[in-house]
Chain A
Amino acid sequence: MTLNSYRWRIPVTQRPFFALLAASSLLITACGKKKPEVGVNPNDTPTSQPPAPSPTPPPPSNPGNRTDPGASDAERTALLADLEMLIHFEYDQDAVRPADQAILDRKAAILAANPAVKLTIEGHADERGSDEYNLVLGNKRASATKRYLESKGIDSGRLQVISYGEERPLDPAETEDAFAKNRRAAFKVTAGGDKLAAPR
C-alpha cells in the first residue's frame, strides 16, 4: 500500500473536512511512513484495507511551516506526495474544480521552490464516451491543469502533458464511484525529485 494508491479513496465531499487536518496529517504521514514508494503504477488497484488518513495540502494562505530545505527523507516524501496528489474532474468536463485548486496551488508553491523539478501531467477519463474521444478528453484535462499551474507562474517547459484516456482506470468497476475516481489528472515527477526544498 502506498501513499498514492489510497489517497484517491477520500471522497470528494470530505475534502473540506480533511483540509482542517492538513498540517497534522502531513506530520502523521511524515513520521509514520518509512520511505513509501513513489511513482506507483496507476494500475495498482487498492486492496480492501480501510482508507488511511491522507495528507491534504494546507491552504495557500498557510504555506509550509517547515523551513529546513532538503531535509529528511520523510519530508521529501511528503513533498513528492503533494506534487503527485491527484485531482478529479466532473463528467465530460475539463475545468479544474474549485475544490482542487488548493491541491494545485500547493504543487505550484513546491515547483516555485524547486526550479529543477519537472512534472508530467497525465489526463485520464472514465470509460463512458468513445475510447478515442476519451483520449481527447484526457488531453483537455491535462492541458487545463497545466494552464492553471502556468497561471501560478510555473514555466510551461517544466510541465509536459500526456493523455491516457480510459486506458488506465484506477478502479475498473462500472459504478459512478469508480467513474469519479477515474476522471483525474495524475502527476509524475520526471526530474529534480531527488532533492526537494519545502516552500518558504
Chain B
Amino acid sequence: MNRIARLTTVLLVGASLGRLAAQDTVRVGITYPTGVRPTVVVLPTAGLDSVRAIIARDLEHSDRFEVVQLPPGGANVGASGAGTINYPLLKTLGANLAVELVLGTGQVTARLYDLITQQRRDEITVPADPSGQGESRMDIHRISDEIVRLATGLKGIAATRILYLNNNDKRVYRVDSDGYGPVALSPQNVLAISPAWMPDGAKVAYTQLGTGGPGPIVLQSLATGTRVVVPTTTEGQNITPAFSPDGRKMVFSRLTEQGANLYSINVADLCCVERLTAGRFAENLSPAYSPDGRRIVFVSTRSGSPQIYVMSADGTDQELLVSFDFGSTGNSYAPEWSPDGAAIVFHRDISGAPQICTFDIATRQVRVRTSGGRNEDPSWGPDGRHVVFVSNRTGRAQLHVLDTETGTIRMIPTPGAARLPSWSRPLVRGR
C-alpha cells in the first residue's frame, strides 16, 4: 500500500541528493541535509537471501537510510556478485547507494556503490556463515555497521546486544539489538538486578539480591560463564554498577544503614575501593561515567527528592546538573551520558508516569522524549542517537528503541516483561 508513497519519496529524495552529493569531495561519507536520508538498495545475491534480509533491516533500523524495497522479480534489477552494476536501472528506483553482496568461502564481501557517480566506493570482507543463523548473525550485523560507516562516516548499532532483566524469572538476559535470540545469563533462582556491560563486551555485571551476601555484584564472563563476586561487595547491598569507558574502574552504589553511597573499585585488579560520596542519610545511586571517564553523573536525594547530579570521577566537585523546581519537578532517575558527551538521558516522573528525557549539556535544556504509558530506564546505543528504554505502551513492559533525531520508536519484542536495559558497545567477533 505504501510502496508507491515510498517510491515517490525515494525519487524526490534521490533527486535532491544528487545535487548535494556532487559537491562532496572531502568526506568519506556524503553530507546530507538534516532530515534527508540517502536511499540504498541491497542487491539480491543467490545463496545470500538471509544475509540480505538482515542487512536491509539493519540499515532501516539505523534510521540513516531509506531502504528501497525491490519489486517482485527484483533480481533482474541489478546483477549482483559479478561486479557489474546496472546503474541506469537502479537510478530509476531513486536509489543513490547500492550494496552488492558476494559470497566467498566462509566469508561475505559487501561492496558499496555510489549510483550518482557510478563508482564503487569501497568494499569490506567479513568472515560470515551465509545461513544467517546463530552467532553468524553478529558477523552479518558487522557488515551492516561497516556499510553505515562507509556511507555516512558514522557508527552503526547493528552489531550490538542489549542486556535486560526478565521480570518473569528475575534473570539477566541478553538479546541481539534486532530482537533475535534472547539468552538467560544469570543463574536460575537467583534474584538479579542492575545488569551492565563491561565496555569490551566480554563480561557483564549485575547484582544478586540475597544470594552470596545481601547484595554482591557479580562479574560474569560471556565466553566461559565464569562468575566472580567483586571483593568488598559482600558487605551491604551493592547496586547500579557502571564502568569507566576504558573498563578499568567500576562505580556503584552501596546501601548501608547510613544510606546509599557511591564507591569505585579498580576492576582490573579487583582492589582499591574508594568512597566517592559521603552523604549520611542522603541517597546516592545510579552512577554513569562521561565518555572521557572524567565525570560521573548520578542520582542523589540530597536536596530532598531524587535528582540528577554530577561530580569528578574522584568524587570532588559535586553539583546539581539538571536544575529542578523543588516541589513541582518530578523525581528524576537513571541518568546515562551519551557516547559523544553532549547529552544525558534519564527518566523523570511527569504527571504520575516516568518519561524519557534528554538534557543537552551545552544549552542545559531538558527535552521530554516520550508520552503515553510508563517510559523508563534509558540506555544509549553506541551511535549516540538511539536510546533503548522500557515502555508499557503496548500493555506489557517491553524494550523499545527511540531515535532521538526523528522521535520514532520501535519495539524489540522479548518473551516476558523486560526491565532495566543496558546497551552494549559494538561487539567484536566472538563476543
Contacts and interface: CB of A to CB of B under 8 A. Distances in A.
A143 B259 CA distance: 9
A175 to B, nearest CB: 14
B334 A135 contact: no
Contacts of A129: 331, 333
A143 B191 contact: no
B210 A132 contact: no
A146 interface: yes
Interface in A128-150: 129-133, 135-136, 139-140, 143, 146-147
B285 A133 contact: yes
* Chain B at the A interface: SS class: strand
Interface in B169-224: 170, 191, 193-194, 209-210, 214-215
Contact of B333 (A130, A139, A140, A160): A130
Contact of B334 (A130, A147, A164): A130
B237 interface: yes
Contact of A164 (B209, B260, B420): B209
Interface residues of A, number: 20
A132 B334 contact: yes
Contacts of B160: none
Contact of B285 (A136, A146, A162): A136
Contacts of B194: 132
Contacts of A139: 237, 255-257, 260
A132 B283 contact: no
Interface in A142-190: 143, 146-147, 160-165, 167-168
B377 A130 contact: yes
Given A135-B239, A167-B170, A167-B193, A130 B210 contact: no
B130 interface: no
A132 B194 CA distance: 8
B376 interface: yes
B347 interface: yes
B215 A161 contact: no
A162 B214 contact: yes
Contact of B193 (A146, A160, A162, A165): A165
Given A132-B194, A136-B283, A167-B209, A161 B240 contact: no
Contact of A163 (B255, B259, B420): B255
A182 B384 CA distance: 38
Contacts of B267: none
Contacts of B283: 133, 136, 140
A40 to B, nearest CB: 16
Given A135-B237, A163-B209, 9 more contacts: A131-B193, A132-B193, A132-B240, A133-B299, A135-B215, A136-B255, A140-B259, A167-B193, A168-B191
Interface of A: 129-133, 135-136, 139-140, 143, 146-147, 160-165, 167-168
